[in-house]
Amino acid sequence: MATITQAPPARPPVPTDRRRRVVARPAAWIVWGVVIFFFLNLLGVVASVLVSSFGRRWFDTWLPDGYTTSWYGRAWEEFALLQVIVVTLEVSVLVVGLSLLIGVPAAYVLARRSFPGKRLIFLVFLLPILMPPITYGIPLATVLYKFGLAGNMSGVVLANLVPSVPFVILTMTPFIEQIDPRIESAARMCGAGLRTVFLRVLTPLLVPGILASAILVLVRTVGMFELTFLTAGPDSQTLVVALYYSMSASGIRAQQSVDAMAVIYTSMMLVLLVVALRYVNPTQLVAQVKEDPEH
Amino acid sequence: MSGRPLTHWRHRLAERGVDRQLWLLAPALIFVVALFLYPFFYGLTLSFQPTDGGPFSDYARFFSDAYERDTIWITLRIALPAALLNVLAAVPIAYRMRGRFRGKRLVTTLLVVPITLGTVLTAQGLLNFLGPTGWFNRILLSTNLVDEPVRLTHNYWGVFFSLVITGFPFAFLLVLSYLSGIDPTLERAAATLGADWRRRFTRITLPLLMPGLATTFCLTFVLAFSVFPSAVLVGNPAGETRVISLAAYQAAYEQYDYPYASAIAMIMGFVELVIIALVLGARSRFYTGSTGGKG
**Are B104 and B34 found together in one domain?**
no
Residue of B46, B118, B133 lying closest to A142 (CB–CB):
B46
Residue of A169, A174, A283 lying closest to B176 (CB–CB):
A283
How much is the pLDDT for B66?
Answer: 86
| Confidence band for B4, pLDDT divided at 50, 70 and 90 | low
Asked if residue B68 belongs to a domain, the reply is yes
| Closest Cα in chain A, distance from residue B85 (Å) | 13
| Closest Cα in chain A, distance from residue B244 (Å) | 10
| Confidence band for A10, pLDDT divided at 50, 70 and 90 | very low
A106-118 per-position pLDDT tens digit: 998 888 888 888 8
| Confidence band for A94, pLDDT divided at 50, 70 and 90 | very high
Least confident of A98-112, A199-213, B14-28: B14-28
Which chain A residues are within 8 Å of B35, Cβ to Cβ? 140, 158-159, 161-162
Cβ within 8 Å, pair A4-B295: no
Question: What is the 8-class DSSP label of residue A249?
Answer: T
- Domain region containing B6: 1-47
Q: Domain A71-285: what homologous superfamily? A: MetI-like (1.10.3720.10)
Q: What are the respective helix, strand and coil percentages of chain A, to the nearest 5?
A: 75, 0, 25
For the segment B40-54, the average pLDDT, to the nearest whole number, is: 86
* Alpha-carbon distances, residue A290 vs B171, B177, B184, B294 (angstroms): 19, 9, 9, 7
Asked if residue B111 belongs to a domain, the reply is yes
**Are B138 and B241 found together in one domain?**
yes
| Confidence band for B80, pLDDT divided at 50, 70 and 90 | very high
Please check the confidence at residue A16 and state whether its pLDDT lies above 50: no
For the segment A165-169, the average pLDDT, to the nearest whole number, is: 90
| Confidence band for A290, pLDDT divided at 50, 70 and 90 | very low
Please check the confidence at residue B251 and state whether its pLDDT lies above 50: yes
Which chain B residues are within 8 Å of A3, Cβ to Cβ? none
Cβ atoms of A105 and A194 closer than 8 Å: no
Asked if residue B23 belongs to a domain, the reply is yes
Asked if residue B290 belongs to a domain, the reply is no
Interface of A with B in 170-229 (CB under 8 A): 174, 194, 219, 223, 225-226
Asked if residue B149 belongs to a domain, the reply is yes
Cβ within 8 Å, pair B180-A287: yes
Asked if residue B91 belongs to a domain, the reply is yes
| Confidence band for B287, pLDDT divided at 50, 70 and 90 | low
**Higher pLDDT, residue B224 or B292:** B224
**Are B11 and B105 found together in one domain?**
no
* Alpha-carbon distances, residue A72 vs A75, A79, A255, A260 (angstroms): 5, 11, 12, 5
**Are B184 and B143 found together in one domain?**
yes
For the segment B233-253, the average pLDDT, to the nearest whole number, is: 86
**Are B94 and B174 found together in one domain?**
yes
How much is the pLDDT for B223?
Answer: 82
Mean pLDDT of chain A: 79
For the segment B168-182, the average pLDDT, to the nearest whole number, is: 83
| Closest Cα in chain A, distance from residue B126 (Å) | 6
How much is the pLDDT for A17?
Answer: 47
- Domain limits of chain A? 14-68, 71-285
For the segment B221-241, the average pLDDT, to the nearest whole number, is: 84
For the segment A5-32, the average pLDDT, to the nearest whole number, is: 56
% of chain B beyond a pLDDT of 90:
14
CA gap B41, B232 in Å, rounded: 29
* Number of structural domains chain B divides into: 2
B97-115 per-position pLDDT tens digit: 777 777 777 777 777 777 7
**Are B35 and B151 found together in one domain?**
no
A224-277 per-position pLDDT tens digit: 888 899 898 888 888 888 888 888 776 666 778 888 888 888 888 878 777 777
Residue type, A230: L
Asked if residue B289 belongs to a domain, the reply is no
**Are B76 and B188 found together in one domain?**
yes
How much is the pLDDT for A159?
Answer: 93
| Confidence band for A157, pLDDT divided at 50, 70 and 90 | very high
For the segment B248-264, the average pLDDT, to the nearest whole number, is: 89
Cβ atoms of B269 and B57 closer than 8 Å: no
Asked if residue B293 belongs to a domain, the reply is no
SS3 of residue B291 by DSSP:
coil
Whole-prediction pTM value? Answer: 0.79
What value of ipTM does the predicted structure carry?
A: 0.77
From the CB of residue A28, how many other CB atoms can be counted at a distance below 10 Å? 17
- Contacts of B188-197 with C-beta under 8 Å, sequence gap 24+, read B188/A8, B188/A10, B191/A10, B191/A13, B191/A16, B192/A10, B192/A12, B192/A13, B194/A13, B194/A16, B196/A16, B196/A19, B196/A20, B196/A23, B197/A7, B197/A20, B197/A23, B197/A24
**Are B41 and B62 found together in one domain?**
no
Cβ within 8 Å, pair B222-A130: yes
| Closest Cα in chain B, distance from residue A253 (Å) | 14
**Are B232 and B269 found together in one domain?**
yes
Q: What is the CATH number of the domain that holds B147?
A: 1.10.3720.10
Distance of CA B88 to the CA centre of its chain: 14
Which chain A residues are within 8 Å of B123, Cβ to Cβ? 247
* Alpha-carbon distances, residue A113 vs A118, B12, B83 (angstroms): 9, 16, 35
**Are B119 and B242 found together in one domain?**
yes
**Are B14 and B81 found together in one domain?**
no
**Are B206 and B109 found together in one domain?**
yes
How much is the pLDDT for A162?
Answer: 92
